[in-house]
Chains A and B, each alone.
Chain A
Amino acid sequence: MHELMVAQSLLTSITAEAEKQNAKPLAAGISCGIFNAINDDTLLFAFEAIAKGTICEGVKLNISHKPVQARCKNCQNIFEFDIASPRCKNCHSDDFELMPDPPLLLEEIEFDTE
């Protein structure tokens, strides 16, 4: 349910950029790490609800989930952590440390040229 807070923060950022560009936003690209507790459907629903009647009404959110990187303690290889097979992709060791989760990021905004 914190998705509403995330949606609010997105709305503020997109609105600020829209005012700067003096253009109508059409879509926004968002990314987050797989361990971020963000449910896509809930975020889309929350954003649609609060964007109604604002310049962000109708803005399409494209959410991508980024894998978390891990560092192998055996061979120092940095690899994409796969929860189904949590091993180093190089030496197959299971002794690794997870890197910080990619943060929740507003990557880009698409604007109408009209």
Chain B
Amino acid sequence: MYKVKVGKKILSANEEYAALNSQFLTEHKKLCLNMISSPGSGKTAILARTITELKGKIRIGVIEGDIQTEIDAERIRAAGAAAVQINTDGACHLSALQVNSALKKLPVEELDLIFIENVGNLVCPSTFELGETAKVAVLSVPEGDDKPAKYPAIFARAKALLINKVDLLEAVDFDIERAKADVMKLNRDIKIFPVSAKTGQGFGDWCNWLLELTGK
């Protein structure tokens, strides 16, 4: 019996495409945010309101990832932004290759900011780099304030966290300070925005952050 050292990255195929995407975005001077959350946290609603609030200020394009259907891309187009839908047909996350071909379908030259709405899943997408500029996590208050402690990976890596559906805070047991404290233990530099995509609460700070990020 003998051993052979290999030292090969198992996800190297994904990483190669992620590097290509990152290079493409850098060359075109475009910002790209990879949004990750559980299903139903309100990613699409947040994007639709963000597009409306920033109309005339930031030109936004969206890559939508879902297991099936074109529903989310249609909601984004209805809000007035360009959208490309990716159907993963069962896969739990978007891959860098899928994002690579979606980027080619977006009118990138006419955009300032590209959002990737990942497949609703708080676990798997955080392992698969897409070449994005930064990750943005979304947590909605009905999911519970214990999620950052239970699913630390995405909260440790995100540049920003939107705590959505704060209009429901009185109806659910969600301690916003506990959630914030648990996130800050993992990631002191994260920007936290309590928002409601339904009422628009908190969108001023979130949109200002995006304006700052895009230099607008």
Contacts and interface: CB of A to CB of B under 8 A. Distances in A.
A13 B3 CA distance: 15
Interface string B140-173: 0000000000001100110000000000000000
A5 B123 CA distance: 16
A95 B185 CA distance: 8
A36 B124 CA distance: 8
Contacts of B187: 98
A17 B123 CA distance: 31
Given A35-B157, A83-B152, A110 B6 contact: no
A106 B6 contact: yes
Size class of the B contact interface (CB-based, 8 Å)? 20 to 34
A108 interface: yes
B188 A2 contact: no
B10 A30 contact: yes
A10 interface: yes
A30 B93 CA distance: 22
Interface in B1-58: 1-11, 13, 15
A10 to B, nearest CB: 6
B11 A6 contact: yes
Contact of A37 (B9, B127, B185): B127
B11 A97 contact: no
Contact of B7 (A98, A106, A113): A106
B186 interface: yes
Contacts of A10: 10
Nearest to A97: B189
Contacts of B6: 13, 17, 106-109
Given A21-B4, A109-B3, A35 B152 contact: yes
Contacts of B11: 6, 9, 103-104
B188 A105 contact: no
Interface string B165-199: 00000000000000000000111110000000000
Contacts of A107: 5-7
Contact of B127 (A2, A83, A97, A112): A2
A98 B188 CA distance: 10
Nearest to B4: A109
Interface of A: 1-2, 5-6, 9-10, 13, 17, 21, 26, 30, 35-38, 73, 83, 86, 94-98, 101, 103-113
Given A37-B153, A110-B3, A113-B2, 14 more contacts: A1-B92, A2-B91, A9-B11, A9-B13, A17-B6, A26-B1, A35-B157, A86-B185, A94-B188, A97-B189, A98-B157, A106-B9, A111-B2, A111-B4
Interface of B: 1-11, 13, 15, 90-93, 123-124, 126-128, 152-153, 156-157, 185-189
17 contacts: A2-B127, A13-B10, A17-B4, A17-B6, A21-B4, A30-B10, A37-B123, A86-B185, A96-B188, A97-B188, A97-B189, A98-B157, A106-B7, A107-B5, A107-B7, A110-B4, A111-B1
